Amino acid sequence: MKTLYVKFVVLTIGMMFISFIFSFILSNAYYQQKLKPYNDSKNTKVALDIASFVEQHPQISLADYLKSISEVGYQICLVDEHGKRSFFGKSFRDKSLPLSIQEDVLGGRVFHGMLLFPQETFVTGFFADELKNTIGVPLKADGRSFALFIRPDIKFLFNEMHILFGWIFVIAITLTIIMVLIYTKYLVKPISTLTKATKSLANGDFNVEMEITRHDELGELSHSFLWMAKKLSQMDEMRKEFISNISHDIQSPLSNIKGYTSLLESEAISQEERIQYVSTINGEIRRLSTLTKQLLLLASLDRNEDMMKKKRYNAGQQLKELVRNYQWIVGEKEIMLSYSLPDIEIIGDPSLLNTVWDNLLSNAIKYNKPNGSIEISMEERADIVLVTFADTGIGMKNSEVDRIFERFYRADMARTRTVDGTGLGLSIAKTIVDLHGGHINVKSIENEGTAFIVELPKK
Ligand code: ADP
């Protein structure tokens, strides 16, 4: 299997080899262009010095002198005028040398074998242990002519360095490969863990646990994954709760309707009872109708359909109209309603925002106390418009405030059970305000009152 681990290891080692070959070619080119001429002239000078020393000191033995030179690290070939060769020092691996070159040097010409040595891509001429890779100079001794060919004994001069560099190279490569093998395992491990976690998540197990010790991109990815798993788990919980709430909220009015219709079938009930039962049935039908309308609205808001029809309109006017519609019920409940609603234009969907205002005002009435009051105000700030619904009603505990925007949540049933509601109004209101790019804030004190502050951006 071509795992990420194998790929990474192969790629790293491959890259090492490619860089090695590339750097070899580059340094070889550098040798051919720059070092070769330098090496040639340096060795030409050495060969000429040897030749002139021999000529200036006729008393010394040529053979002894060349032998001692070879002992300090040179390979030497001496050719006499008859073409007889004598070698000093380490012998050449390849002793072939065209006769014409020998004759040229005997005739007094200098042979630049090092400079002329053919260039090959993967072999550095510097190391070629061949007679052709030498410097040849003419030499006169005892009145005879010789041709002297020399080249440094690379093995002799560089032996220890060779071994040292060789070891450094081998150790470095081996260590790098071992480290790549270990580090890649460490690098790839979180990916394998993540893959396992993804599979268990796909199978519906949201309790993913992962130990995250890293602080790099993979650590960040693991954190995001855990966060995503937590969110998915919450959404799954919410979905289950939502379905069970809907089922319950539909089931209970249906069984009430069923109960009352069977009672209506009985002939032994009075006219008064009949009227009361029919009114209860109507109430339950209204409740079911509100619930389905709210569910439909929530579903389309959730689908984020392009259902918003935004336009610039006078929200102050809209709120005043709403207040007028509620006037009779406010009067009936003996609630004092005051408002400060100047003509302020906003950009938004008038019908959706009306749902928000309707919900906030109806809640302020529903959860108010007899002789309580409601204050609605609207004010314009730099780039927002604030709409406040403040009531002196039953208020809420902090723990309840934290949950009121959850779907189907209804605070303390003991206090609100007499009030009709579905627990969907505020979650719809919040979704609409969010879609408008605004916020809803709540301030509430139990038994004292509640204020909902809607903040809408002007643009
Ligand atoms: P409901 O249909 O129950 O009114 P909402 O989503 O509109 O549903 O409100 C959720 C809950 O928040 C209500 O059941 C109530 O407990 C609480 N609540 C909302 N508005 C007020 C308010 N003005 N005063 C006190 N409690 C409120």
Give average pLDDT by consecutive 10-residue segment, the chain, 459 residues: 78 89 86 86 94 92 93 93 92 91 93 85 71 94 92 78 85 91 85 89 86 84 92 89 87 93 90 93 93 90 80 96 94 93 95 96 93 96 95 94 90 64 92 95 96 93
Q: Which phi and psi (to 5°) does residue 86 adopt? A: -125, 135
Ligand 1 center–CA 426 separation, angstroms: 7
Ligand 1 center–CA 410 separation, angstroms: 6
Ligand 1 center–CA 25 separation, angstroms: 80
For ligand 1, pick from 404, 406, 432 the residue to mutate: most ligand atoms within 8 Å of CB. 404
CA-359 nearest atom, ligand 1 = 7
List helix spans (H) across 203-307.
217-265, 271-302
For ligand 1, pick from 289, 330, 362, 363 the residue to mutate: most ligand atoms within 8 Å of CB. 363
Query: How far is 6 from 181, CA to CA, in rounded Å?
Result: 9
Residue owning the nearest CA to atom 18 of ligand 1:
363
Report the sign of the C-alpha dihedral through residues 426, 431, 434, 436, in that order: negative
Residue owning the nearest CA to atom 16 of ligand 1:
411
Is pTM beyond 0.75? Reply is: no
Pair 263, 269: CB distance under 8 Å? yes
For ligand 1, pick from 358, 405, 410, 444 the residue to mutate: most ligand atoms within 8 Å of CB. 410
The helix or strand, by DSSP H or E, that contains position 398, with its residue range, turns out to be helix 398-401
Q: Which phi and psi (to 5°) does residue 152 adopt? A: -65, 140
According to the model, what pLDDT value does residue 441 have? 96
- List residues near ligand 1 (CB under 6 A): 359, 363-364, 367, 391, 393-396, 404, 409-411, 416, 421-427, 450
| Long-range Cβ pairs for the range 151-160 (8 Å, 24+) | 151/43, 151/74, 151/75, 151/113, 151/114, 152/43, 152/73, 152/74, 152/75, 153/70, 153/73, 153/74, 153/75, 153/89, 153/90, 154/126, 154/127, 154/129, 155/90, 155/129, 156/73, 156/89, 156/90, 157/73
C-alpha distances (whole Å) from 325 to each of 240, 360, 429 are: 38, 14, 19
Residue owning the nearest CA to atom 19 of ligand 1:
363
Of 146, 152, 125, which Cα lies nearest the Cα of 30?
125
CA-449 nearest atom, ligand 1 = 24
Ligand 1 center–CA 412 separation, angstroms: 10
CA-415 nearest atom, ligand 1 = 16
Reading the block at residue 149, the tokens are: 């060919």
CA-393 nearest atom, ligand 1 = 24
Ligand 1 center–CA 363 separation, angstroms: 6
Ligand 1 center–CA 340 separation, angstroms: 23
Q: For each of the domains in the chain, give its residue range(s) and CATH number, in order of start.
A: 2-159 (3.30.450), 217-300 (1.10.287.130), 309-457 (3.30.565.10)
* DSSP β-ladder status, 144-152 and 336-340: unpaired
According to the model, what pLDDT value does residue 52 have? 94
According to the model, what pLDDT value does residue 411 have? 83
Reading the block at residue 434, the tokens are: 């969010």
According to the model, what pLDDT value does residue 413 have? 62
Q: Tally Cβ neighbours within 10 Å of residue 146.
A: 22
Residue owning the nearest CA to atom 23 of ligand 1:
364
Query: How far is 313 from 154, CA to CA, in rounded Å?
Result: 94
* DSSP β-ladder status, 144-152 and 135-141: antiparallel
